[in-house]
Chain A
Amino acid sequence: MSEQDSLWFKSPPPPHHPPEPPVRKAPEMVAITIDGAEVRIPATATILEACRSVGIDTPTLCFLENLTPVNVCRICVVELAGARTLVPACSRQIEPGMDIRTDSPRVRLARKMVIEFLASSVDLSTAPQALEYARRYGADSTRYGTSRESDTSHDRDTRLPGHHHVPEGIGAETVEQPVKVDNDLYVRDYGKCILCYKCVEACGEDAQNTFAIAVAGRGFDARISTEANVSLPDSACVYCGNCIGVCPTGALMFRSEYEMRQAGIWNESKQTSTDTICSYCGVGCTLTLHVQDNRIVKVTSPIESSVTNGHLCIKGRFGFEYVHGGLDQQADG
């Protein structure tokens, strides 16, 4: 064999068959009834997946395809014949013969009340999905009294367990509190937090595994907190921004977006979004660049990407400033 016949000089021939993943046994199909129609669905599916596969739009707030369901928001509940309570569609696996109602009066009432309770206590102004559900189910949060004017100097994080004070007068208690701006990249506005746990999951085992945040406190005092309620720069946070990526209400926001909103220049109708590949390491993460007036104003990643599953690191999410001249130019405005 001459040197030029070696693999170094000539590629080997391709395999007879392109390589394939091991064959997994397809799940068996089971028959269930959804809103009176019998359908056949893979046995491994959840009720939510079953509903979506037949085109039924089931509302979700705490569910995301790249996170483990935690069943906390209860907006996805459906009525299951024979079950005492409504069941969360996002996590309940289907079983043969299930008879499911997704739009019964009981389901509609439950969903309406979920969104009413949230709307009465949380600022949903930057939560378009929640507002759309409120319209869909005719939610009227004023049924619980108007949201009381809160003292925004009061930080709920400083409240000690059990130290409730009885509210004066009639009105809905809110989670309003000062916005936390303690670093250059993130803003945390927990007056907009519906406690869906998505950020905790993305920071934890479902993606980043940094565990910088968790739910602290109980009952109405429950809130998202760093360890010992330290500021973000003093916490374990590594600024991947994956919590912002999954937040459904705008409670967590890029600082740049927050400041543009404050200045009244954030305008999504003028924004384009373009998928490209990150300019840093060789992993090849898909970035969706949100551009307004020829400036990148936000970076996300599509949840369908097999590389990222929707998650990024600090450089991918925040490291784009150099194309706009970097920090110096920013300082000039």
Chain B
Amino acid sequence: MFGAGGGTNSYREVEETDVILLWGSNARETHPIFFHHVLKAIHNGAKLFAIDPRRTSSARWADSWLGLDIGTDIVLANAVGREIIAAGLENREFIEHATTGFDAYRQAVEPFTLESAERETGVPAREIQAMAHAFAKADRAMICWTLGITEHHNAVDNVLSLINLALLTGHVGRYASGLNPLRGQNNVQGGGDMGALPDRLPGFQHIEVDSLREKFEVRWGRKIPAKRGWNLTQMFEAMEHGDLRTLYVIGENPVQSEADQSLTRHRLESLDCLIVQDIFLTATAQMADVVFPSAAGWCETDGTVTNSERRVQRVRKAIEPPDGARDDIAIVCELARRLGYDWVQPDSKSIWDEVRELSPMHAGMSYARLEAENGIQWPCYDDSHPGEMYLHSRLWERPIVGPPAAFHPVENETPIEKLTPEFPLRLTTGRRLDDYNTGVQSGGFSSPLRRGESLDISPEDARNLGVEEGEIVRVSSPRGAVEVSVRIDQGLRPGLTFMTPHFQDEVATNILTIDATDPKSGTAEFKAAAIRIERLGAK
């Protein structure tokens, strides 16, 4: 709600903050080197609160673990907001100076008392209160989150509920205070920066704003559609309705990474033409009409990526790609040539210079500076601009620069898929330390930690079901079933189970997950499916 999507602080600031709310993130395993900065903060005396349904290896480092029920994040956030207001700990000065909509927010959170929040989230009221007070009273405080917030059908509302807390306390726009989503893939930030979003051109410039779009039209000598395109979810729905007939997939494996695998496969099969550009013959590539073998971007080509602290960093070619595999730029240019546009094949630096020409937030980032300064954080407006170490400092300038930031009151919505007598257990998904997504990359090395896929369940549920560690069980959701071995995890509370997407060839976890997506962000609710467990021997 601040205009551009990116973490507001630098990693070095994490080490010097006083309170960290790690919300829906097991950074110890999923972002291990970010967690090194968190550990430095802890050793420097910072308090860590871990808000997560699972008592993860990150939560074990926390001063307090708030083990909430899946899908009750907004209840918890609103209760924290209410408690801060009730205790008179809101930052009045900042609210009046830099925000709008506070009164509506106060009214919206009024019903979220500590007692009702305890009832709905399962977190003891005193723990909610302690976190609210610590966060509000801290000189510096940060909220850091990952997919525990965003892989829900109401993902955007979840994020807004956290932003409201930062606005309420003034913990944004200052050194070591802010809001930091940790990016899950090495260039998911950079992809967004470069306009790989349905409504954005490079530099987060909105495609529906005429003056912004026309700048690109002039530079490129072509008209650009004036309306936003589809997000990922809408694209898959358009396949269903026959509105999308050709799909060009670059470096994704949707057959295994999308929720509800059977449905995804059916939709891809219905296409007239599926093109896949990848370094592997993935499950998706195996379905393709045409496969373009590409080079591995991070070590076989030159270019840039952007990390979770908005740092644009150079990637460099260290090895030659295998025979037949080509740089993504070469493939796209060759495709353009076959379509009748003979672009002179540019190198990565000249493409980057074009980005700098068109995107004001990247204008000052020459390759020479990126080399010399080990990357630069956007926005960086000109050659002498240092880049912004933390965002939104304008909110603290007097008078305020630009419009104030708005509170967005949000109501809680429980997960789409309710627990029923037929499917009484909650399944949530996530990553483990040594593996990654659908395993096409991490499966390439031999990890001594790797134990293969398992259904992790609480000791209580294991006892109730009469299942033992290592036993193979059938796990069913309304969409399908898989067989998988059981692992008992003390960090899970009764009723909660956990799987990863890492070993899809052996255990197709995403057969179970639900394709219920957030209409605002297009993210699927990987974090909340309903399942039942059956013993194989008992049939």
Contacts and interface: CB of A to CB of B under 8 A. Distances in A.
Interface of A: 4, 6-22, 183-185, 205, 207-209, 232-233, 237-240, 272, 274-286, 289, 291, 294-296, 304-309, 311-316, 318-327
Given A7-B1, A15-B394, A323 B34 contact: no
Nearest to A20: B389
A13 B434 CA distance: 42
A268 to B, nearest CB: 16
A316 B4 CA distance: 29
Nearest to A302: B374
**Chain A CB within 10 Å — which of B188, B279, B375 has the most?**
B375
Nearest to A275: B316
Contact of A289 (B3, B175, B318, B320): B318
B275 interface: no
A282 B184 contact: yes
B445 interface: yes
Contacts of B183: 281-283
A51 B215 CA distance: 55
Contacts of B421: none
B402 A278 contact: no
B180 to A, nearest CB: 11
Please provide the 6 A-B residue pairs with the shortest distance between their CB atoms, ordered closest to farther: A284-B307, A282-B183, A322-B444, A326-B444, A12-B402, A313-B32
Contacts of A279: 186, 296-299, 441
Of listed B187, B314, B433, B444, residue having the most chain A CB within 10 A: B444
A15 to B, nearest CB: 4
Given A305-B374, A319-B441, A282 B36 contact: no
B228 to A, nearest CB: 11
27 contacts: A7-B2, A13-B401, A14-B379, A15-B397, A15-B401, A21-B175, A185-B448, A205-B43, A209-B39, A275-B314, A277-B298, A277-B314, A279-B296, A280-B186, A281-B30, A282-B186, A286-B374, A289-B319, A305-B374, A306-B11, A313-B32, A314-B32, A320-B444, A322-B280, A322-B443, A323-B319, A327-B446
A128 B189 CA distance: 41
Nearest to B187: A282
A119 B505 CA distance: 52
Contact of A277 (B11, B13, B36, B313): B313
Contacts, number: 237
Nearest to B301: A276
A325 B325 CA distance: 13
A21 B206 contact: no
B3 A12 contact: yes
A13 B444 contact: no
A184 to B, nearest CB: 4
Interface stretch (B103-111, B231-239, B380-388, B485-493): B380-388
B375 to A, nearest CB: 8
A243 to B, nearest CB: 14
A324 B402 CA distance: 51
B531 to A, nearest CB: 27
A307 B33 contact: yes
Most buried by B among A184, A185, A308, A323: A323
Given A4-B208, A185-B446, A282-B183, 15 more contacts: A13-B394, A13-B401, A18-B388, A18-B393, A19-B389, A209-B39, A280-B436, A283-B182, A307-B309, A314-B32, A322-B443, A322-B444, A322-B445, A323-B279, A325-B444
B402 A184 contact: no
B474 to A, nearest CB: 29
B185 interface: yes
A284 B388 CA distance: 17
B69 to A, nearest CB: 27
A222 B318 CA distance: 41
B464 interface: no
Contacts of B405: 7
Given A314-B434, A315-B436, A323-B296, A15 B444 contact: no
Contact of A15 (B30, B34, B393, B433): B393
A232 B448 contact: yes
Contacts of A13: 394, 401-402
Interface string B193-234: 000000000001110110000000000000000000000000
Contacts of A17: 393, 397
Contact of B315 (A7, A232, A233, A276): A276
Contacts of A22: 175
Given A12-B3, A315-B442, A295 B186 contact: no
A183 B30 CA distance: 23
B2 A16 contact: no
B36 A323 contact: no
B300 interface: yes
Contacts of B145: none
Contacts of A308: 33, 36
A12 B2 contact: yes
A282 B150 CA distance: 15
Contacts of B394: 12-16
Given A239-B434, A307-B33, A323-B300, A280 B209 contact: no
B60 to A, nearest CB: 11
Contact of B317 (A274, A283, A312, A321): A274
Contacts of A294: 319-320
Interface string B422-455: 0000000000011010001111111111000000
B400 to A, nearest CB: 10
Contacts of A16: 394, 397, 401
Contacts of B379: 14
A295 B283 CA distance: 26
Nearest to B441: A322
Contacts of A296: 299, 318-319
B440 A322 contact: yes
B133 interface: no
Contacts of A289: 299, 318-319
A233 B308 contact: no
Interface in B444-502: 444-449
Nearest to B312: A284
Given A15-B397, A19-B389, A313 B299 contact: no
A17 B392 CA distance: 11
B527 interface: no
A329 B186 CA distance: 25
A326 B375 CA distance: 30
Contacts of B390: 19
A284 B387 CA distance: 17
A278 B442 CA distance: 12
Given A11-B4, A21-B389, A313-B433, A307 B318 contact: no
Nearest to A304: B374
A282 to B, nearest CB: 3
A284 B445 contact: no
A283 B34 contact: yes
Contacts of A8: 1, 3, 206
A283 B299 contact: no
B311 A291 contact: no
Nearest to A19: B393
| Interface-centre pick from B184, B315, B381 (highest chain A CB count, 10 A) | B315
A235 to B, nearest CB: 10
B410 interface: no
Contacts of A315: 434, 436, 442
B265 interface: no
B318 A274 contact: yes
Contact of B186 (A281, A304, A313): A281
A275 B30 CA distance: 23
Given A239-B448, A296-B299, A323-B319, A12 B401 contact: yes
